[in-house]
Chains A and B, each alone.
Chain A
Amino acid sequence: MSRLQTRFAELKQQNRAALVTFVTAGDPDYATSLAILKGLPKAGADVIELGMPFTDPMADGPAIQLANIRALAAKQDLAKTLQMVREFRVEDSTTPLVLMGYFNPIHKMGVERFIGEALEAGVDGLIVVDLPPEHNEDLCDPAQAAGIDFIRLTTPTTDDKRLPTVLNGSSGFVYYVSVAGVTGAGSATLEHVEQAVARLRRHTDLPIAIGFGIRTPDHAATIARLADGVVVGSALIDRIAQAETPQQAVDGVLGLCAELAQGVRGARG
């Protein structure tokens, strides 16, 4: 079993949802970002999404745009992001880690080389925002053939007709983007999320994680009652933006992560 399968199976047994955290690699700088990454599992993150910085994050709202700008200004690149995963894996061989970002930096590195290095570094899955199933052959197919999960985003606009196409190439888990919009935008109603999860369950046995607009422990707890995973990104990244020192950034992110984890873990109690 892959790390993702193992983790979601364990949590299912414990009857609780996964807390999935997103931070951008290299934000605000390599050392601080690595300290955050290494601290996340202890702070209660069950699955880690690590953003690969890109100059033009078209699907992201202001918080993650700024995170990308900070990381790139600190000279983060794809090679360093992979290095960060390697350093993370020295101490942690169980927490699933998913790289998330846009296709161009991977395209530039070369798909074959990227997959090889990602695999060797200990990457479990990929989320590439601008690679819909129409372009499976570009990265999804070779990544899966090599044993890396390809996690798809499904959205409120993915209708029943299209859903099988999207889910076909999915593995690891399914990421439901609960609002049509950019990351960090307003959140969906509970009713909408309930219906969406029910609809997805009719089409797939994969775990379903819900993201976009989830910011507080209470909100995370509410979602954790409905879905298999709760994704939080912008709210964590805001803590980095607000920090005046690297230590404040680390403490801020890990502090919020611990609160969110408490919310998620107590949700179904």
Chain B
Amino acid sequence: MTSFRNGPDAKGLFGSFGGQYVAETLMPLIHDLAAEYEKAKQDPAFAKELAYFQRDYVGRPSPLYFAERLTEHCGGAKIYLKREELNHTGAHKINNCIGQILLARRMGKKRIIAETGAGMHGVATATVAARFGLQCVIYMGTTDIDRQQANVFRMKLLGAEVIPVTAGTGTLKDAMNEALRDWVTNVDSTFYLIGTVAGPHPYPAMVRDFQAVIGSETRDQMQAQEGRLPDSLVACIGGGSNAMGLFHPFLDDQSVQIIGVEAAGHGIATGQHAASLNGGVPGVLHGNRTFLLQNDDGQIIDAHSISAGLDYPGIGPEHAWLHDIGRVEYTSITDKEALAAFHKCCRLEGIIPALESAHALAEVFKRAPGLPKDHLMVVNLSGRGDKDMQTVMHHYDEQEEHI
């Protein structure tokens, strides 16, 4: 059997997706980064250091928790939550940040830049930059700053400079453009710590590798608890790093059904969504060829999702490829469905999930009831919902008014 886990090729391609579509100024740097990452991967000292920080700083392994009440409520599949929200900084983002900051240090970079949507990647980046005493600049769209003020303050507390991006709709895509502009201007001193499995090669592969600890742990934990592999995996997808991290170690296990959940916003038919695979076509943006939300002229269309972390018009190229070859099934969940799942998870499990993760939970609520009781389903609880209080309160008020 050919493996689904060998990508990308030497040019950074997963099938026809991925690549290195960036300005010449960045090319030498990206080649350096790829070479340095290859070296680090082979270096036992790097692995040891990474393992140390994952355990003692991030708090890994994160539990694989049997969600008894959710399972009862659904009355079907046995639901497990991979508790990434218990990590330091409250989401899976730190897994990648720790890996990349160790690499940045190896490369002698003194200044870290990053883009952020919901602010979780910004907070995680600011956190590791503080830990290693590096200067940190975070680009964040003004729309996202408005809806994620607590995270903006957290980043500032951690010593990062948060630069508001007014271009476009002031969301993740615009923040990424601005971070790329900073990077071409400060190539020598600066390390761009991309937060998801997108961007030019080697980022999609590198971020995936750092996040794959999620799936590797899940394998071992499920083996220990149930003595076998799970039957299905469910994770939400914006750029797709938490999903890729959970999925990758299972790609070659044909018995494991894998489901990625995109954000359908107000519904794919309305055009106001963030579902690049279900509502987009292939194109080139931010260094890679992938599925994009775009119009007939190839202009990028702004994404919409209630969750700032999923509000991106593209998706990691490896997901585009897995979609293309059919190994992973990609569905979508609307804002409304995600909110309903959010409330259920709060009340039934005493866990406040991130609105991003609530999309995955909503998919579970659709599927689990129809599945047999011995079906083992793992959902990645990629982040906690503390950051979403403002958004949820706003919708809560709206609901109350309706009543």
Contacts and interface: CB of A to CB of B under 8 A. Distances in A.
Which of B184, B185, B188 gathers the greatest number of chain A CB atoms within 10 Å?
B184
B23 A56 contact: no
Interface residues of A, number: 43
A104 B292 contact: yes
Given A54-B299, A132-B22, A134-B27, A104 B185 contact: no
Contact of B27 (A56, A132, A181): A132
Nearest to A103: B284
A59 B181 contact: yes
Contacts of B289: 107
Interface string B8-31: 000100000001111111111100
B297 A108 contact: yes
B298 A78 contact: yes
A68 B168 CA distance: 11
Interface stretch (A3-11, A116-124, A150-158, A250-258): A150-158
A135 B27 contact: no
Q: How large is the interface on B (under 10, 10 to 19, 20 to 34, 35 or more residues)?
A: 35 or more
A56 B283 contact: no
A56 B20 contact: no
A158 B28 contact: yes
Contacts, number: 120
A181 B23 CA distance: 10
Interface in B299-350: 299-300
B180 A58 contact: yes
B43 to A, nearest CB: 24
A59 B19 contact: no
Nearest to B22: A130
A182 B286 CA distance: 15
B354 to A, nearest CB: 26
A109 interface: yes
| Dominant secondary structure of chain B at its interface with chain A | mixed
A196 interface: no
B285 A129 contact: no
A58 B299 contact: no
B173 A56 contact: yes
Given A59-B181, A104-B292, A135-B19, A166 B300 contact: no
B167 interface: yes
Which of A58, A154, A158 gathers the greatest number of chain B CB atoms within 10 Å?
A58
22 contacts: A55-B300, A56-B168, A57-B177, A59-B25, A59-B181, A102-B284, A105-B299, A107-B284, A108-B296, A108-B297, A130-B22, A130-B284, A132-B20, A132-B21, A132-B23, A132-B24, A134-B19, A153-B23, A155-B24, A157-B29, A180-B188, A181-B184
Interface of B: 11, 19-29, 167-168, 173, 177, 180-181, 184-188, 281-287, 289, 292, 294, 296-300
Given A108-B281, A131-B21, A157-B26, 18 more contacts: A54-B299, A56-B177, A58-B181, A59-B23, A59-B184, A79-B297, A104-B284, A107-B298, A108-B294, A108-B296, A130-B287, A132-B24, A135-B19, A155-B24, A157-B25, A180-B186, A180-B187, A181-B184
